[in-house]
Amino acid sequence: MYAPVAGSDKKYEYGKAADMVLDSFSAFDPKVGELARRVFDESRVDSEVRKGKRDGAFCWSVVPEMTPYVLLNYQGNARDVATMAHELGHAIHSMLASHHSAFTFHSSLPLAETASTFGEMMFTDKLLAEETDDAVRRDILFKQVDDAYATIMRQSYFAMFEKQAHEMIQKNASVDELCAAYMENLKEQFGDSLELSDEFKWEWVSIPHIYHTPFYVYAYAFGQLLVFSLYQQYKIEGDSFKPRYLKILSAGGSEAPAKILEEAGINIRDPKFWQGGFDVLEKLVSELEKMPVGGKKGRRSAACGNSKVRRLLKAKPPKEGKEEIRSIKSRSEKSGF
C-alpha cells in the first residue's frame, strides 16, 4: 500500500551513528545526552542482525531503578540511525521518570511516543542541516512523512473501523460484512490516490492492536500530533521550552495526560496548539516536494509520493469521526484525560 521510493545507498558505521544521535540529544540538553550515553555505557543495546533474532526495534523499561534495554537491527542506513534515536528517546523518557514507582513511571499511551518521536526529530534536523547527499535527505524526509501518515491518518481510520466493528458485532454481523466495512473505510481514506485490490479487505485481521488493546490505535494519532505540536513550540520558543518539555517526560504516568501537559503550560484544547503540528508536517512535505526522485534521466518531483499526506493536511473529519471526537471529548472531561 506504500509505494517504494528510490532510497539511499549511503551507510553509517555504528559508532558514528551513535555519536550523531548523542550529539543531537546533547545539543538539546546535556542531561538528555548523558542519559542516552548511559544506555550504551551499560551495554543495554542489542543492535546486531543475526539469525534467530526477532526483527524490528523497541525499548524495554523493566523497573524504575534499572537502565532500559534497547533492541535494534542495525544495518547502517539513515533510517536505522533515526530508529536508534527513536528508541533511545523511549529510554530517556523512562530514566527521567525513574523517581516514580514501578506502577507510575511508565507513561500512559497518549504520551508514550513523546520522547521517542521528539528525539527522532532532533536527529532528523541535525542530519538535514549537515547532510549534502540528496538521496539521504530524501530518504529521511520520506521516512518522516510516511511515518506521519501511518501514525495519524491511518490510526484514526483504524479507530473509526474498530468502533464500527464493535457496533456491527453486537448486531451479529458476519466476517464478510466486517470485511466490506473495512474496505469502505480504506476507500474513503485513500480516495483516488491508489487502487485497492480485493485482498485488502482482510487487512484488519492482521492488526494485533485491535485485539490486545482496544482503541490503542487512537493514542498513536494523538501522540504523534502532540509531538509535532510540541516540536513546533520548541522551534519558536527555544531554550525557554526545554524545562517544560523535560517536566512532561519526568512525570511518567503519574498523572492524567491532560494534567501533565497543563502543568507544563500546554493547552491541548486550543486549536492553535494542534495547528502547530500540521505546520511541521506542511514544512516536511513542502521540502520533500522540491526534491527530485530517480536518476539523471527522467527526474521527477517527489510530490508524486505525497498525495496521501496532502489528503491528511487538507482532510476534514467525516461526520462519524466528528461525532466520535465529541464523544471522546465528553468522556475525557469526565475522566480528567
Write the pLDDT tens digit of every residue in 228-243. 999 999 999 999 999 9
Q: Spell out a b/e string for 221-256, using b for 16 or more CB atoms within 10 Å of the CB, else e.
A: bbbbbbbbbbbbbbeeeeeebeebbbebbbbbbbeb
CA distances from 336 to 33, 224, 269, 331 (A): 33, 21, 13, 9
Q: Which residues of the chain fall short of a pLDDT of 70?
A: 1-6, 293-337
According to the model, what pLDDT value does residue 336 have? 40
According to the model, what pLDDT value does residue 69 have? 98
According to the model, what pLDDT value does residue 143 have? 86
Write the pLDDT tens digit of every residue in 29-75. 999 999 999 999 999 999 999 999 999 999 999 999 999 999 999 99
1 contacts 99 by C-beta, under 8 angstroms = no
Nearest to 124 by CA among 9, 7, 28, 15: 28
Q: Please, what are the domains in the chain?
A: 14-148+215-335 (1.10.1370.30)
Give me the helices (H) in the chain, please: 14-28, 30-41, 78-96, 114-130, 134-148, 154-170, 175-190, 209-212, 216-237, 242-250, 257-263, 271-289, 307-314, 319-335
Pairing of strands 69-71, 45-46: parallel
The chain-wide mean pLDDT, for the chain, equals 87
Burial of 132 (0-12, 13-18, 19+ CB in 10 A): exposed
Residues 6 or more apart in contact with residue 26 via CB below 8 angstroms: 32, 33, 34
According to the model, what pLDDT value does residue 307 have? 57
Q: What is the 3-state secondary structure (H, E, C) of 12-48?
A: CCHHHHHHHHHHHHHHHCHHHHHHHHHHHHCCCEECC
Secondary structure class of 191 (helix, strand, coil): coil
According to the model, what pLDDT value does residue 306 have? 54
d(CA 283, CA 150): 18
According to the model, what pLDDT value does residue 90 have? 97
Nearest to 161 by CA among 110, 207, 223, 112: 207
pTM confidence score: 0.83
Grid cell in block for residue 332:
475525557
Question: To which residue does cell 528508541 refer?
Answer: 87
Write the pLDDT tens digit of every residue in 232-271. 999 999 999 999 999 999 999 999 999 999 999 999 999 9
Grid cell in block for residue 13:
558505521
